Structure 1
Amino acid sequence: MRRRVTATVPAGVSERAAVAFAEEKADWIRKHLGACPEPVVVTLGSALPVEGHFRRVVPGQGRRVVLGPESLAVPGAAEQVGARVAGFLRERARARLDVAARRYAAQLDRRVARLTLRDPKSRWGSCSSTGNLMFSWRLILAPPEVLDYVAAHEAAHLVHMDHSARFWDTVAGICDMEAPRTWLKREGETLHRYEFTRAER
């Protein structure tokens, strides 16, 4: 599987200038690509973390994906396993993040207007000026305290739409943040190594 680099070009910058910049930074790009973890295509027999604990994907019975202590049992055709696992993880992420974000918002006397899940490559969450929160559903792969921290982080943006000292004081006032922040800096990239559909390959 080939690793790809996606460039986001600011408005007003020509394609030629963007290509020249990428060529100038080619050694840096190669170095960072080499440090990226190898991709894992999720299928029967593969292992992936759910809430920080690795489970083996195994054949399941019935209609529902079942999370066990050491396994993730997935019914249906083998070629649908990746998509079914992704669907299960999204549902679980939505449930966990909805509870956590609304709990932290309530502690700050704020309200979440809407919560959405996406699969961004460069951020774990965001907060709009209208109170809409967005989260990466891949947070469900991380330990629970990491998901909780990101929920608290975005809830704190309902109070401070910046990363000022007051913002960080607000985050620290509602959750333990140092260990989860360190984990995301050190391990966060590994959450993107799991591929669930052919379109990701």
Structure 2
Amino acid sequence: MTRHSPRRAPKALILSGEPPVEVMLRVDARARRITLRIGADGRAAVTRPPWVPAEEAARFARSREGWLRERLDARPPRLRPGPGAALPVEGAPRAIVPGPRTALEGGRLLVAGDPAAAARAVLRQVARDRLTAECDRLAAVLGVSWGPLALRDTRSRWGSCTEGGRLMFSWRLAMAPPRLLRYVAAHEVAHLRRMDHSPAFWRLVEGLHPLWREDRAALHALGPALHAWDFG
């Protein structure tokens, strides 16, 4: 007797054309409808609820191919840190200059060795220092404890919080203006009190960061430019 394995839904769809476009096919139990989005890393994904067939999600993606290609064409080009480039650090452009050591010096970023690796190390340290100080300050306001802090090069979110109080952030926040980093810190610290996105949660965020709406929108708009930098 021959047994047949259940057919697995494909994980990606390739839209033919020039150039071909890969669309990730995802299932999310929290989804209520089919959505098509382009992540900060430029990758497209269609998300469906579990009860929607994969074939229907694929048809939806194909029906939006024109819209998808327009958005992808409008994205900023990939950038590589190197001598002569101006890398944003805390919202200000820093000229990358070869030097005997790696350090921020005035309006310059001195890099020793591989420029991309050196720039990434500086951004990670800036992010760790600023986020640690900000989370300490905000946690004291709410009377909560937190830790440890983890830094990742995440593509779909700027931060996250676990039930155990572990906070994770994208180190690319070090490139953004400080107020945007402070907004993300406020968002995640507020989750230490409420692990949801209820009106009560957003009231907590507003108490910590009154201009959260403006800064959330600004970070969403700036995200593609921050993720355009390729650190290898």
Give the TM-score taking structure 2 as reference length: 0.74
Q: For 1:136 and 1:6, locate their aligned partners in 2 and report how far apart those are by CA, in whole Å.
A: 23
Q: Which moved more, 1:184-193 or 1:134-143?
A: 184-193
Aligned to 1:43: 82
Q: Contact 1:3 / 1:33 at 8 angstroms: preserved in 2? A: no
Pick the structure with more strand per residue.
Answer: 2
Q: CA deviation at 1:17?
A: 6.1
Answer yes or no: is 1:86 the counterpart of 2:125.
Answer: no
User: What amino acid sits opposite 1:70 in the alignment?
Assistant: G
Answer yes or no: is 1:29 the counterpart of 2:78.
Answer: no
Answer yes or no: is 1:72 the counterpart of 2:109.
Answer: yes
Answer yes or no: is 1:195 the counterpart of 2:195.
Answer: no
Q: Which has the higher contact order (CA 8 A, sep 6+)?
A: 1
Q: Contact 1:43 / 1:81 at 8 angstroms: preserved in 2? A: yes
1:108-147 mapped onto 2 (5 Å cutoff): 108-147=142-181
- Secondary structure of 1:49 counterpart: strand
Aligned to 1:60: 99
Q: CA deviation at 1:92?
A: 1.5
Q: Which moved more, 1:175-184 or 1:126-135?
A: 175-184
Answer yes or no: is 1:7 the counterpart of 2:41.
Answer: no
Instruction: Identify if the C-alpha distance between structure 1 residues 34 and 170 changes in structure 2 by more than 3 Å, giving closer, same or farther.
Output: same
Aligned residues between the structures = 191
User: What amino acid sits opposite 1:54 in the alignment?
Assistant: P
Q: For 1:87 and 1:157, locate their aligned partners in 2 and report how far apart those are by CA, in whole Å.
A: 28
Pick the structure with more helix per residue.
Answer: 1
Q: For 2:163 and 2:194, locate their aligned partners in 1 and report how far apart those are by CA, in whole Å.
A: 10
Q: CA deviation at 1:175?
A: 2.1
Task: Among all aligned residue pairs of Structure 1 and Structure 2, give the percentage whose two residues are the same amino acid.
Answer: 42
Q: For 1:8 and 1:158, locate their aligned partners in 2 and report how far apart those are by CA, in whole Å.
A: 32
Q: For 2:98 and 2:150, locate their aligned partners in 1 and report how far apart those are by CA, in whole Å.
A: 30
Which residue of 189, 208, 231 maps to 1:174? 208
Q: CA deviation at 1:23?
A: 2.6
Aligned to 2:5: none
- Secondary structure of 2:97 counterpart: strand
User: What amino acid sits opposite 2:80 in the alignment?
Assistant: V
**What are the superposed Cα offsets for residues 37-66 of structure 1, whole Å, 9 maximum, x if unpaired?**
1111111111111000001101111xx311
Q: CA-atom RMSD, angstroms?
A: 2.3
**Greater Cα radius of gyration, structure 1 or 2:** 2
Give the TM-score taking structure 1 as reference length: 0.85
Q: For 2:134 and 2:197, locate their aligned partners in 1 and report how far apart those are by CA, in whole Å.
A: 20
User: What amino acid sits opposite 1:118 in the alignment?
Assistant: R
User: What amino acid sits opposite 2:70 in the alignment?
Assistant: K
- Segments of structure 2 that go 5 or more residues without pairing to the other structure are 1-18, 29-49
Q: Contact 1:124 / 1:139 at 8 angstroms: preserved in 2? A: yes
